[in-house]
Amino acid sequence: MAFMIAQRAFIKLYLITMVEQQRGYGYQMLEEMKENFKPFGYVPPQSEIYRALHELVHEGVFYRTKQLKGNDPRVDFQEIVLYHFTEDGPEKANLYKKQVKTDLDRCLGMLNKAAEDNFGT
């Protein structure tokens, strides 16, 4: 068993939640995670975001579609890749989230014990 939760598992957890909330293209998810974790000094690597998305597609949780960014195809030429759940993706995602929750709970227990044992907090 790993010492702490793996970074990729942590990222995949957040990507699944973002797709559940219909915030579905890679760069947007990266920027949101950067902003959310800035107070903790954590910047998720762009390469890890895209590796995690690729794994979720490969595992059959997500599928990808492409569309032009913006609403005017005459002006907006940038194509983005959106991520959506496959037919059984939500079920696979929930199973994955349960597994990660178990790991998070274990890590929190270890961190809380370390804080208590070493700092009395």
Q: Is the pTM of this model over 0.85?
A: yes
Question: How many C-beta atoms lie closer than 10 Å to residue 25's C-beta?
Answer: 19
pLDDT of residue 67: 84
Average pLDDT over residues 37-58: 96
What is the DSSP-derived secondary structure letter of residue 39?
Answer: G
How sure is the predictor about 77, in pLDDT bands with cuts at 50, 70 and 90?
A: confident
pLDDT of residue 25: 87
How far is the C-alpha of 69 from the C-alpha of 79, rounded, in Å? 6
pLDDT of residue 93: 98
**Contact criterion met (CB below 8 Å) for 34 and 11:** no
Res 110 pLDDT > 70: yes
